[in-house]
Structure 1
């Protein structure tokens, strides 16, 4: 079974077993939704992701965080617990700029929709070694500042929805994902990385850019 297939099967089982988990609005010091380095899709790929999230809204029901264009992203690395004042933003930005320097755009194929205990996502498969190289270079440039997230990410995705209320129709969510398990969204070419912080909007989150870095010379 492929890595995506294993993830899909585990997520399906968790949802049908009533094991969903729920996000809450970020609070000072919480480990979720702190400052992060992300890559944001754009163009036709972003439009398709927004469309998919919109299709999913009536399936998951009310109270959940259905993401729009200001929240859809691939996380490169989480950097710290949630804080309204990100005091190290320039340190993070300098490390990101160093890591991006000289690299070509990151290319990922977005294909396959899966539910899991915390929401619904689109699987992202790197087209080459650029994303892994960026990940290693960013970790090196961060040094001790990167200790908050000490593991190495080995799966990549774009979240369409985070559950933020009881999941009352898990079978419908699983069925919707099964119909799209092999859906091709497109190849995202990600030429810019950002340091962002999350802002709770009342009905979800949006990501505010603090620093940015472009690939290339």
Structure 2
């Protein structure tokens, strides 16, 4: 299996380090409530993502996890769950239908993936971080290389905007999907951690990515939504792959 850093084991090790660096803090209920986005902030901006069609087993496990957390927490659902390819810019509200940057992000992505398929990702295991829960993804293509090519395409079009990934060296190095976000201390942090530990190696299957979306986010402490502004379908004709 090809992963976005060259091997399944490299990415598995990266997720393990993330888990190990956060697990004790979660047990102690030393969680972090991610602040709601405000205009001008570098996070929660317009992003290029793909939305995996996740298994019913995964959603059952998420429902069980939520029962150990407490009442007020934010969860992604089948309409909002996604893996971020790139955060293109910081947060801004009221994006118009014909936004020129959005159109540019979509056109650049179309140029990058032209003739490249399939895009498949295996999802295996969930881990905790101080802000919530991540689903671990393992791409069967070089996601890092795709991200770098996308950055260069945007740069050539003068579309690199202020955001969390300002240079080609700052592209993301995981393939995770956020599943839950903490909005207050956990009702029983030890029980939550024990339940999450049972899911760290659970196999949720492999999905085929059929399209990439340009999205923005609408978020409260109890809800996360994504708004799709443009969609880039993956070509059905196989020519080559990353």
Instruction: Tell me how large the CA RMSD over aligned residues is.
Output: 2.0
Deviations 1:1-24 (A, max 9, x none): 822222221120231344311123
* 1:198 corresponds to 2:209: no
- Among residues 77, 88, 96, which one is paired with 2:109 in the alignment? 96
Q: C-alpha distance in 1, partners of 2:217/2:39? A: 12
- Does the 8 Å contact 1:112/1:181 carry over to 2? yes
More helix by share: 1
Q: C-alpha distance in 2, partners of 1:97/1:47? A: 30
> Offset at 1:187?
0.8
- Give 1 or 2 for the bigger CA radius of gyration: 2
* 1:53 corresponds to 2:62: yes
- Match for residue 130 of structure 2? 117
> Offset at 1:91?
1.4
> Offset at 1:203?
2.6
SS in 1 for 2:67: helix
- Does the 8 Å contact 2:51/2:209 carry over to 1? yes
Distance 1:200 1:190, change over 3 A: same
TM-score, structure 1 normalization: 0.89
SS in 2 for 1:145: coil
- Does the 8 Å contact 2:183/2:221 carry over to 1? no
- Match for residue 30 of structure 1? 41
> Offset at 1:201?
6.0
- Match for residue 146 of structure 1? 160
Deviations 1:27-77 (A, max 9, x none): 2223332111111012xx253433332222111111110111111111111
Q: C-alpha distance in 2, partners of 1:145/1:19? A: 38
- Does the 8 Å contact 1:112/1:182 carry over to 2? yes
> Offset at 1:207?
0.8
Q: C-alpha distance in 2, partners of 1:60/1:209? A: 29
- Among residues 55, 66, 75, which one is paired with 2:75 in the alignment? 66
SS in 2 for 1:156: coil
Q: C-alpha distance in 2, partners of 1:214/1:62? A: 38
5+ long unaligned stretches in structure 1: none
Q: Which moved more, 1:63-72 or 1:49-58?
A: 49-58
- Does the 8 Å contact 1:115/1:173 carry over to 2? no
The aligned runs of 1:68-217 (5 Å cut-off) are 68-86=77-95, 87=99, 88-129=101-142, 131-143=143-155, 144-147=158-161, 148=163, 149-150=165-166, 151-200=170-219, 203-216=222-235
- Does the 8 Å contact 1:28/1:84 carry over to 2? yes
- Match for residue 40 of structure 1? 51
TM-score, structure 2 normalization: 0.81
- Does the 8 Å contact 1:49/1:160 carry over to 2? no
